[in-house]
Amino acid sequence: MRKRAFAQVQQEDEGSGPTPDQVLAGQQLRMFLLDRFCTGSLPGSDVAELCHYVTRAGGTGVATWALNPEQAARHGFEHIKLHAGKEYPEPDLDYVTVPLFEKRQSRRVAEKVPIMLPSTLFRKFVEVPSAQSKDEINFRKMLQKLPCYDNHPVVQRARAAGNTELVRPIALYWDGVRYSVHDSFTGFYVTDILSEQKFVSFLLRSEDMCRCGCHGWCTIFPLLDAWVQDLEKLQASLKYCVLDIQCDWPAYLEIIGGRFWNHNSHPCALCRISQDDMTADNVHSITLDNVGHLVYSSEDYNNDIGMFTREILVDTAEMLRTIARNLEYSRLDRGRHLTADLPRYGLRKNWRLEPSRRLPDVSQLEYQELPLRVIFWIAPRDARLTHMCPLFSLQGVTQDSWSIDIMHAWHLGPMQQFISLAMHSFIASGVFSPRSVNIEASELRELALLAIKAELFQFYKNLRSTDQRWREKGSEVWNLTMGMIGNEDTYNLSAKAAESHGLLRFVLWLLHKYADEFAKQPDELARKFALLTACAEAAHAMDELLELEFRRQFTRQHCQALLQLYLRFLTLYLKAGGVWRPKCHLLVHMIQRALHRGNPRLYSTYRDESLNGVIAKIARSAHRSTWSNVIHWKCNFLQQKKLECSSE
């Protein structure tokens, strides 16, 4: 048997060329290396050197990528990109001139930033048969009888015009991502909801953002405006509509110009609650139609923009020189503001020159042709808004388009705070502590946590053996330390959002398992454990309710049940010693919006965060001189490869 196998290998080696199996293996090796190169797992120098040794060892399929070690160290990336580009060419990038900060010379410069326009992405990856194969299924799941889709102006116009073609909904997403110790970027993405494809549109490194005092808005605005102009054309064709804005609340507020939770007068971007009222006192008055305070609507936003902006016609050279002479950059006023009143032109001190479509770069005011209409931001420094958002000029895109993310609002919010509170209560109960009296308090807490960790790992083991879904998709923590469960002042749990689901189930299981021991505690502590048990049951019921619906449409009965469960959870959590956080208020808005925007689970940003991780890995392997272009090329390859796999 062995002699026959050896003779077969000899015949293959003595043949005139590689066998079909070897050719196929070479192609698979080529795609494997290209995939690792594009995801940042292998640098180009390593790929070129590896191909060199594979080829010398008799391998096939990668000879054109091979470079000897000395050349690979210097030219490996360019060599691999050159040859891979023959199969996967450069993406169709557009370039937008934006103001950036040049770190080496510490000055403001205008440079071209690459952007993949949504129309280009959709034409290449969406408007193909293989990408639209699941449209009918996903339409029934995501859009059928969904109020925010049926009431969208573009959808209504298309139906009124008698269009039989489906209007494809688009979701916009942006987020900040740290990809190294000192570097981070803000990525802007578009999602085709029906095909569930997510695309990188443009990226901005934090260290390249303008530093004139605008908090980076001078850099972001021209790219956002290019986004808006392209999306306006897509919506005018009645083929696409911008349905969702999907991002966490800090990213959302940064782009729309809203205030953060620490603002005294306007801590919430969605209602008119004040900082003094941001407490748990009005929890009992909350209903599905009333948050207890006036809602900040899209009409209110438009009225504020009308009050906070002033359009000025600059029609003479003298007027232009006078205005430019009295402008300077201020961090307090977030940009280039007036240093003196100019009553002759109806201008006042501290008014800020605002970027606009006619003047995307405020530093270029002096070089513009006349006549020119410019916009000044005249709002007081503590106003609700800090700048205009061009996205709200899109038809159908308003404050109500923000689909509040359940991952950040719930799974990384009150749920984690409750888990931390429960863990500290377990330790304080003494049920899991050793009975020895000659142990310091800190060591006693550590030993109690070790016992809880042993219970946790046993719980995971039982769950894997009994729950098929958990075995396939469950996320488990690999350790449990005092640092992870946070301190007793903030109850900030250090765990991933997906891990919180398993920890919540563990807390509920442990409360039931040791219910008799907890009931024997002193009255105050026993009452606390009774509250924690009821609180955990309400939180678990919330998760189960969200999992029940496999369609995005959420009925009023579901929303009402979800709100009642959450208010029960919140009331019990606070009575058990929990800490009120602004996300407790934000979650009420999320549940109220579910009536129109649908089940929050189906527009969460879990997949977007996963994409952020992939982009961060690619970003770490890219040189700063070609940073954006390399990321776009690699993402284009990965998207093309995914499309080819779906068509097979």
Q: DSSP letters along 332-362, please?
A: TTTEEEESS-BGGGTB-TT-EEEP-SS-S-G
b/e burial code for range 551-583 (CB count within 10 A of at least 16 → b): bbbbeeebbeebbebbbbbbbbbbebebbbbbb
The tokens for 224 are: 């956002």
Closest Cα partner for 155 from 241, 67, 281?
241
pLDDT, position 596:
94
**pLDDT of amino acid 16:** 59
3-state secondary structure of 632: helix
Residues 167 and 236 both lie in one domain: yes
- Are 423 and 436 contained in the same domain? yes
The span from the CA of 503 to the CA of 459, in Å, is 10
- Say yes or no: 502 and 442 in one domain: yes
Residue 635 lies in a domain: yes
What pLDDT, on a 0 to 100 scale, did the predictor assign at position 11? 43
Q: Domain count for the chain, please give it.
A: 4
Sort strands 168-178 and 184-192 into parallel, antiparallel or unpaired. antiparallel
Q: Are residues 430 and 579 in the same domain?
A: yes
Same-domain check for residues 426 and 503: yes
Q: Are residues 229 and 337 in the same domain?
A: no
- Domain contains 633: yes
444 and 457 together in one domain: yes
Q: How many CB atoms lie within 10 A of CB 546?
A: 19
| Residue 440 sits in the same domain as residue 535 | yes
**Rounded to the nearest 5 degrees, what angle is found at the Cα of 172, between the Cα atoms of 166 and 173?**
145
Q: Is 444 exposed, middle or buried (0-12, 13-18, 19+ CB in 10 A)?
A: middle
State which of 316, 349, 383 marks the end of a domain. 383
Rg for the chain (alpha carbons), in Å?
29
Domain assignment present for residue 2? The answer is no
Q: Are residues 332 and 416 in the same domain?
A: no
State the angle between helix axes of 44-56 and 20-38 in degrees (0 to 180), rounded to the nearest 10: 160
Beta bridge partners of 188: 174, 202
In a domain, 269, yes or no: no
376 strand-pairing partners? 310, 353
pLDDT at 437: 66
Contacts for 628 with CB less than 8 Å, ≥ 6 apart: 113, 114, 202, 203
Domain of 58, in residue numbers: 25-87
Same domain, 514 and 583: yes
User: Average pLDDT by consecutive 10-residue portion of the chain (648 residues)?
Assistant: 40 61 85 81 86 87 86 84 75 92 83 95 91 88 91 95 92 93 93 93 94 94 97 96 94 95 93 90 87 92 96 95 95 95 95 96 94 96 95 95 93 95 94 82 91 95 92 91 91 92 95 94 94 97 86 91 96 94 94 94 87 89 84 87 73
- Residues 6 or more apart from 507 whose CB is under 8 A from it? 418, 419, 422, 423, 532, 536
Dihedral, CA of residue 37, residue 42, residue 48 and residue 50, to nearest 10 = -130
In a domain, 291, yes or no: no
C-alpha 442: how far from chain center: 38
- Choose the final residue of a domain: 38, 66, 87: 87
Burial label for 322, CB within 10 Å (0-12, 13-18, 19+), is middle
3-state DSSP call for residue 581?
Answer: coil
d(Cα 591, Cα 558) in Å, to the nearest integer?
A: 10
Q: Give domain status of residue 476, yes or no.
A: yes
Residues 480 and 569 reside in one and the same domain? yes
Instruction: Report yes or no on 410 lying in a domain.
Output: yes
Whole-number pLDDT of residue 3? 44
Q: Are the CB atoms for 297 and 307 separated by under 8 Å?
A: no
Same-domain status, 508 and 588 = yes
Residue 421 inside a domain? The answer is yes
Whether 227 and 118 have beta carbons less than 8 Å apart is answered as: yes
Distance CA 119, CA 122 (A): 5
Reported residue count of the chain is: 648
> Are 536 and 504 within 8 A, CB to CB?
yes
